Amino acid sequence: MTLPLPSLSILRKNLLKSVFIILLSFTTSHVFAQDELLAAVTEDAPELAAENSWFENFLNKLGADGEFDADKLIDFSILPGPFYNPEMNLGVGVSAIGLYQIDPEDDVSQLSSLVINGLASVNGALGVGIHNKTFIKQDTQRLYIDAGVYNVPDVYYGVGYDNNHNDDNKVKLNSRSIEVNPMYLARVSEHVFVGGGFDFRYSEAEDIDILESLIPVDDLFESSTSAGFNFHVSYDSRDNVLNPQQGKIAQLDVGVYREDLGGKTDFEVFDALYSTYYSVHSDDVLAWQIRGRFTHGDVPWDQLSKVGGGELLRGYTTGRYRDKQMLLAQVEYRLNLPWRHGMVFWAGAGVISDQFSELLTSNLLPNTGVGYRFEVKPKVNLRLDLAFGDGDTGFYFNVNEAF
């Protein structure tokens, strides 16, 4: 007798329960008693999609109702979440996600967004980052503002793959940084934008602990100040900037940093990317990206091209792998699940080198991972990502997709 196969919707619900439990068990092993939390999650998982459940009511109180209230000046949601990594130890992050409209009569521009991310950890790490995207006059103009102030533990393994890949080269430090980057864009044709902005960054390393490392660290004892103009051109046919379902973007940003503008050194940065998004079965999305960051001149230690962190090759410690040139590729499948849930699965690889001509012969840094998504507001996702690199692992609590 042939048994009937389960429907696709049932498979998706079961997948959501299974992966959600796995992700929570991984993160809370550093935070709570794992057995108690797993039991609670297992018991409540079948109710995740039920309307008017305690979970939905709790989220509504935080503003995470999946809706946009146009009557509010800024419609905010506030979501906390724990994190753990070897540098910062145990901590908590809080994301305030706000949506707004400049002109209520503008039916072309997508919703503008203001995301404020704060963090604090038991070993004294503190930081706040602001990411603002404003869409103006039928989306003929865009204003992007990124800013942050951080005082966090950090690591330094020198410069170049050979130094970075050696665990014995680890240097511990405390990094204090300030960054401000406003950017104005104007639409010059249906999908083409041009614009410019200013970039200011200050970094200072404190409490430098060389441990057993033999790499040169003289640069770390001097603070770094970078100031320059940014020039932007892009082709952008994405249906939504924050969470694209289809379309593509080809973008080039050129940063020219000079002592005359307030920096300590003269150098240039060329940041290029190409991303494509395909809408597939049941509103799933297949996305892939190629991205490169290439520098020239007297580049300070904090402005070298890096991989790792929550966007550029998840799974590697931020700042471990750095050099003048960087190139990466990543592909991701974004699975739509019942209610406001989702999952992602991805793989990627990247390289770093001193010279542009050496990129294709450099050692490969692979990564892969799985993530959980929850739609906080329309087209705004909270993301929890578990990523694996070459001998490294990362867990990320953030807002919106990595690319």
User: pLDDT digit string (tens) for 9-56?
Assistant: 444 445 444 444 444 444 444 333 334 433 444 454 455 445 446 666
pLDDT at 24: 42
Residue 56 is predicted with a pLDDT of 67
- Per the CB < 8 A criterion, the answer to whether 69 and 104 are in contact is no
pLDDT at residue 377, as a whole number:
83
Q: Quote the CA–CA distance of 251 and 293 in Å, as a whole number.
A: 12
Q: What is the pLDDT of residue 223?
A: 94
Q: What is the pLDDT of residue 67?
A: 82
Instruction: Specify the pLDDT at position 25.
Output: 45
* Contact between 114 and 130 (Cβ < 8 Å): yes
Residue 2: is its pLDDT beyond 50? no
Q: Tell me 110's DSSP state.
A: P
Round to whole Å and give the CA distance between 54 and 391.
40
pLDDT, tens digit (0-9, with 9 covering 90-100), for 95-126: 899 999 999 899 899 999 999 999 999 888 99
Which band of pLDDT confidence, cut at 50, 70 and 90, is reported for residue 143?
very high
What does the pLDDT read at residue 55?
A: 63
pTM > 0.95: no
Share of the chain above pLDDT 70, in %: 85
Find how far residue 94's CA is from the centre of its chain.
15
Give yes or no for a contact between 343 and 370, defined as CB atoms under 8 angstroms apart: yes
Asked if 274 contacts 254 with a C-beta cutoff of 8 angstroms, the reply is no
Are 100 and 111 in contact, with CB atoms under 8 Å apart? yes
pLDDT at 45: 47
d(C-alpha 145, C-alpha 264), whole Å:
23
Greater model confidence, 212 or 21: 212
> Average per-residue pLDDT in the chain?
86
State yes or no: pLDDT of 5 exceeds 60.
no
Helix orientation angle between 8-28 and 34-44, rounded to the nearest 10 degrees? 160
C-alpha closest to that of 376 among 71, 63, 75: 63
Whether 86 has a pLDDT exceeding 80, the answer reads no
C-alpha distance from residue 248 to each of 254, 294, 332 (Å): 20, 22, 14
**pLDDT score of 36:** 44
Q: How far apart are CA 320 and CA 350, in angstroms?
A: 13
User: Range with the lowest mean pLDDT among 2-11, 318-327, 388-397?
Assistant: 2-11
Contact of 123 with 153, CB cutoff 8 Å: yes
Longest dimension (CA), the chain: 81
Report pLDDT digits (tens) over 305-330.
999 988 889 999 888 999 999 999 99
- pLDDT at residue 6 greater than cutoff 50: no
Residue 318 has a CB neighbour count (10 Å cut-off) of 19
Six-digit token string for 78: 């506030």
The whole-number average pLDDT for the span 330-345 is 93
- pLDDT (mean) for 240-249: 94
* CA separation for the pair 355, 336 (Å, rounded): 41
Query: pLDDT higher for 395 or 40?
Result: 395
DSSP string, 222-235: S-EEEEEEEEEEEE
**334 pLDDT above the threshold of 90:** yes
The whole-number average pLDDT for the span 191-200 is: 98
Half-sphere exposure of 166 (CA within 13 A, CB side): 13
Structure tokens at 355: 């010279």
Tell me the DSSP string of 274-315: EEEEEE-GGG-EEEEEEEEEEEEES--GGGSEEEBTTTBSTT
Residues 362 and 282 sit within 8 Å (Cβ to Cβ):
no
Residue whose entry in the numeric block shows the structure tokens 């007297």: 298
Q: Tens of pLDDT along 254-313?
A: 999 999 999 999 999 999 999 999 999 878 999 999 999 999 999 999 999 999 988 889
- Nearest CA-CA partner of 90 in 82, 81, 101: 82
Unique residue bearing structure tokens 């990317």: 273
User: What single DSSP character describes residue 219?
Assistant: G
Tell me what the mean pLDDT of segment 353-382 comes to: 92
pLDDT at 23: 44
Residue 137 pLDDT level (bands cut at 50, 70, 90): very high
